Amino acid sequence: MGVVQDGVQYIIRLDMQRDGLPFRKIVQMVDDLEGDIIAWDLVRAEDQRTIRDLTVLIATAEKLRALVNQLSGLEGVRVENVSDRTFLMHLGGKIEIRPRVHIKTRADLSHVYTPGVARVVEAIAEDPSKAFQLTMKRNTVAIVTDGSAILGLGNLGPKAALPVMEGKAVLFKWLANVDAIPLCLDTQNVDEIVETVVRIAPEFGGINLEDIASPRCFEVERQLTERLDIPVFHDDQHGTAVVILAGLINAAKVVGKPLESMRVVIAGIGAAGTATAELLLHMGVHDIVGYDRMGAIVEGESYPGHPQWETLAKQTNPHHRTGTIKELLVGADVFIGVSTGNLLTPEDIQGMAKDAILFLMANPTPEMAPEIAQLHAKVVATGRSDYPNQINNVLCFPGLFRGVLDSRAKRVTVGMKVAAAHALASVVKNEELGPEYIIPSVFNREVSERIAKAVIQAAEKDNVSRRLTKV
C-alpha cells in the first residue's frame, strides 16, 4: 500500500463480480471501523465483472489495513490497488511547460525560431538588459534547494525535495502568475551551490532559496546576493519573517500595545528565527531574547558554527537575560516559536504579561497544543491550517516575487520586506480584527496583489528598481 497516513481519504479499487454486489456488507465494514464512505464510483463494467473505486475516510492506518483485509476476504472481490488522493495528485509531477506562442504556419516558425530569432539574439547581445523584455527572464524564478531541510522532515536529499519544489511552483503560478522552475541540486557544499546558481542565473529574474539547512543557508544567500544582479530571497528566512511581522502588527492592535514596546522571546534561532529577530529590530523592537538548544543567546558567549548567533547576540537581549524558557517568558508580551513541538507547558506561559501573544509555529506539532494555549493567551497563531491565524509563508512569496519581477529589482531590501508585511497586515480591516483573525487566508487573492504593489513602490524608494515606463 505504500506510505499510509492517518486521517486521509483513500481510494480502494475493487474488481467485483457483477451479480450480487456486496455493497451492504462493505458499508457495514466501513461503519464498524468508524470510517465514512465518500464515493462509490463505477470505473468500467464488463460482462461478468465491474471495476469500482471505493473512496473512504478512515481514522488510522491500522483500520485501513483491516478494511483492505476484510474486502479481500469477500467472495468475488479482489482489491486491485489502494491509493490516496495526495499521491494521485503527484502522479507524473504537478507542473509542466507550455508555449506562450503557437506555431501554425511556416511563417510562424521563421519568427519563433530560425531565421527570425537571430535578430532577437543580436539585440540582446548588444544590450543584455533586453533579455528582461524579450525572454522568459522577465517572469521566471528559480526555486533552488539542496534537500537538506525539507518541510521540517530533515535532510532527505534533492530527489525527495522535488515534490515540495513542484508544489511551490504551482503556488507561484496560481497566486501571482509567476513561472517558477525547481532546481534540486545534488550537492550540499556552499561553494558548489553558489557556483551552480551563478551559472544558471542569466535565465532568471529572481532566485528563491528553499529548504537549505541553517547555518549554510545564510552563507549561500550572502554570496549569491553579492555576485548576482537579480534578487536572491531565502523564503524560509524572510518569507516567514514577513508573515510573522504582519501577524504581530495586527496582534499588537488587538491587545492594544505598541509593537516597539513589546518584550519578545523567540525560540529557535535558525533561518526563520534569525530573520524574524532582524526584521523586528528594524521595526524598533529592541527587547528580544533568542533561545535555542544552548539556551538564551547572550552577548559575550561563544557559538562555534553559528556566526549568526554571535551577530544577533550583539543586537538583542539588552538585559542579558538567561535561564530556562519558563524564566525567560516571565513578563514577556510575545512568544514566537519556530523550534520544536511540545516545548511549552501552561505553567511556562502563565508568567507572561497580560494579553500575551503566542505564535506557535513548529510543524506539524506546535510548541503547545493551540486549544490549551488559547486558555492562557489573548492571541494564538500557528503554522497549521486547521487552527485560526495560520502563519504561512505562502502569504508572502508569490506577491513579493510578482513585485520583484515587475520592478526588475536588483535585490530585495529590508524596506521591501517591511512594505510587504504592512501590505499583508492591511488586508485584514480594522473592524475585522480580533484574537482569531489577525492574518488573512492563503486563499485571499487580494494578498498577492497588495504585496506586489507595495514591493514595487518600496523598490523604487530604495533605488533598486529597473522598471521601464514602457516595456
Which of the residues are catalytic?
113, 168
- Residues 379 and 400 sit within 8 Å (Cβ to Cβ): no
363 belongs to an annotated ligand binding site? yes
Tell me how far apart the alpha carbons of residues 397 and 388 are, in angstroms, rounded to a whole number: 21
The residues facing 17 across adjacent strands are 49
The residues facing 58 across adjacent strands are 8
State the number of CA atoms in the 13 A half-sphere of 390 facing the CB: 16
What's the order of all strands across the beta sheet hosting 295-296?
295-296, 288-292, 264-267, 334-337, 357-360, 379-382
Tell me how far apart the alpha carbons of residues 392 and 384 are, in angstroms, rounded to a whole number: 8
Alpha helices, DSSP H, located in 99-215: 106-112, 117-126, 131-134, 158-176, 190-200
Phi, psi for 210 (deg, rounded to 5)? -150, 135
210 belongs to an annotated ligand binding site? yes
392 belongs to an annotated ligand binding site? yes
Classified as helix, coil or strand, 335 is strand
Q: Rounded to the nearest 10 degrees, how much is the dihedral formed by the CA atoms of 299, 304, 308, 311?
A: 30
Tell me how far apart the alpha carbons of residues 268 and 266 are, in angstroms, rounded to a whole number: 6
Q: How many CB atoms lie within 10 A of CB 5?
A: 12
The residues facing 63 across adjacent strands are none
347 belongs to an annotated ligand binding site? no
444 belongs to an annotated ligand binding site? no
Which residue numbers belong to the known binding site for a divalent metal cation?
210-211, 236
Which residue numbers belong to the known binding site?
210-211, 236, 363, 392
Which residue numbers belong to the known binding site for (S)-malate?
363, 392
